[in-house]
Chains A and B, each alone.
Chain A
């Protein structure tokens, strides 16, 4: 079969694969990671707040997301987001949400549950005495959090947050089920159109591998540096 390989199909579709597909994948990853970390941090704070109702809600949300497969969540959100939007703005008809914003909302909301667990550990890794000291200095909750606890929590958890971002990068390939054109979607569209599955899927695997391997290598180096500081 190897003699039948035709890698020229990969070559001719490179602009599409990277110009359209990889751009989609990377922007989705970056934006969802940023949004996920912010939302996740808020969830972690809510969960550690000890306020009845608030922490229950945060815990419930995190546990629910973590018990559902991403594929199911992707379907849920793609169909549901316009209705939620309509509800949010008080409209009687669903509002229009494009494919990319919809995917972005899905991944932000879903990955926030995972980032929340990391940030919870991060916040707990900051010694209690520091919070006490901050309060003794007259700082309120938000000042304590933003000036003392969170910067350290982020620093301690940075390698884990980045590792989770690599997982997120891999997970974005699942928008394939909606026929969106991320890197994998682009590869499979070309593969199916030209009947060149073997070449395209092997190429896609190699690209993902190269990116994830390099990224996780960098994260490990960073981890060592962070470890020395501590």
Chain B
């Protein structure tokens, strides 16, 4: 392959003047992680609520939950990103729209909200599956003990459901982390975006992408290890 490898490029100063190319990639990694965590906070909370809605006896609650999941699951993330970034501010009243646009770090907030809502639809499906996987007797037993619906979910169904769905939730979390890269299209300076800028400035395409690849693999490993530790920590002794 006739390509001039230059691995020491990472120690060269980037033209942004804020440090070396390695610093540039690490700042990308930082934004990837921060965006993923903030988006996950929204996805987990909202997804749990929607998932629960879909298991409630109420028809209205079901319909709301189903509609949400269908809408957010059937539109590509990139399109959703553009809707939040370019379309939403135009739909708001002028003053508010302008304020939204001029927010510092607008791509970051947009990415967090967009990813949060997108991933919530996936989390909701997992939560629903988890609750439905529980033996029906659990809900009945809780009702028989005089628990309200809220108490049934809080003390009986959800604690069990979350334990069951921990492995699929880990992969949803990883998907969420990877999906932050779509936000480069709205100008978020995350890891893939930084690798791309590094390639543009230095012309060392493959070094930049190799480094980004290794960083992604590394965060994946960290997440997988943390998830298995968490799984061990929350296992109910004697169950399964």
Chain B 187-210 residues near chain A, CB threshold 8 A: 192, 195-196, 205-206, 209
In the assembled complex, the Cα of A69 lies from the Cα of B34 at a distance in Å of 16
Contacts between chains A and B (CB distance < 8 A), count: 105
Interface residue A38 (Cβ < 8 Å from any Cβ of B) = no
Q: Does the CB pair A208–B76 fall under 8 Å? A: yes
Q: Does the CB pair A72–B209 fall under 8 Å? A: yes
How close is A23's CB to chain B, nearest CB, in angstroms? 17
Q: Does the CB pair B220–A67 fall under 8 Å? A: yes
Cross-interface CB contact of A70 among B75, B90, B174, B178, cutoff 8 Å: B178
Interface residue B156 (Cβ < 8 Å from any Cβ of A) = no
Q: Does the CB pair A79–B185 fall under 8 Å? A: no
Map CB proximity to B onto A168-190 as digits: 1 under 8 Å, 0 otherwise.
00110110110000001000100
Interface residue A213 (Cβ < 8 Å from any Cβ of B) = yes
Interface residue A89 (Cβ < 8 Å from any Cβ of B) = no
In the assembled complex, the Cα of A147 lies from the Cα of B94 at a distance in Å of 65
Looking at A10-18, A46-54, A197-205, the stretch in contact with chain B turns out to be A197-205
Map CB proximity to A onto B58-84 as digits: 1 under 8 Å, 0 otherwise.
000000000000110111111110110
How close is A110's CB to chain B, nearest CB, in angstroms? 11
Cross-interface CB contact of A72 among B97, B181, B185, cutoff 8 Å: B181
Q: Does the CB pair B181–A171 fall under 8 Å? A: no
Q: Does the CB pair B1–A69 fall under 8 Å? A: no
| Most chain B CB neighbours (cut-off 10 Å) among A66, A209, A212 | A209
Interface residue A143 (Cβ < 8 Å from any Cβ of B) = no
Interface residue B86 (Cβ < 8 Å from any Cβ of A) = yes
**Chain B neighbourhood of A170, CB < 8 A:** 75-77
**Chain B neighbourhood of A7, CB < 8 A:** none
In the assembled complex, the Cα of A174 lies from the Cα of B185 at a distance in Å of 9
Interface residue A83 (Cβ < 8 Å from any Cβ of B) = yes
| Most chain A CB neighbours (cut-off 10 Å) among B78, B86, B179 | B78
Cross-interface CB contact of A197 among B2, B87, B97, B220, cutoff 8 Å: B87
**Chain B neighbourhood of A209, CB < 8 A:** 71, 74-75
Chain B 113-161 residues near chain A, CB threshold 8 A: none
Q: Does the CB pair A71–B75 fall under 8 Å? A: no
Interface residue A146 (Cβ < 8 Å from any Cβ of B) = no
Given A1-B91, A201-B82, A213-B74; A67-B217 close (CB under 8 Å): yes
Q: Does the CB pair B184–A71 fall under 8 Å? A: yes
**Chain A neighbourhood of B185, CB < 8 A:** 176-177
**Chain A neighbourhood of B196, CB < 8 A:** 75
**Chain A neighbourhood of B209, CB < 8 A:** 72, 75-76, 79
Map CB proximity to A onto B79-109 as digits: 1 under 8 Å, 0 otherwise.
1101100110011001001000000000000
Residues of B within 8 A of A (CB): 1-3, 70-71, 73-80, 82-83, 86-87, 90-91, 94, 97, 174, 178-182, 184-185, 192, 195-196, 205-206, 209, 212-213, 216-217, 220
What are 23 A-to-B residue pairs whose CB atoms are below 8 Å?
A68-B178, A69-B180, A72-B192, A72-B195, A72-B216, A75-B195, A75-B209, A92-B2, A93-B2, A170-B75, A170-B76, A173-B76, A176-B78, A177-B185, A197-B87, A201-B82, A201-B86, A202-B87, A205-B80, A205-B83, A208-B79, A209-B75, A212-B73
Given contacts A92-B2, A202-B87, 13 further A-B contacts (CB under 8 A): A68-B213, A69-B182, A69-B192, A86-B1, A188-B82, A197-B82, A204-B79, A208-B74, A209-B71, A209-B74, A209-B75, A212-B73, A213-B70
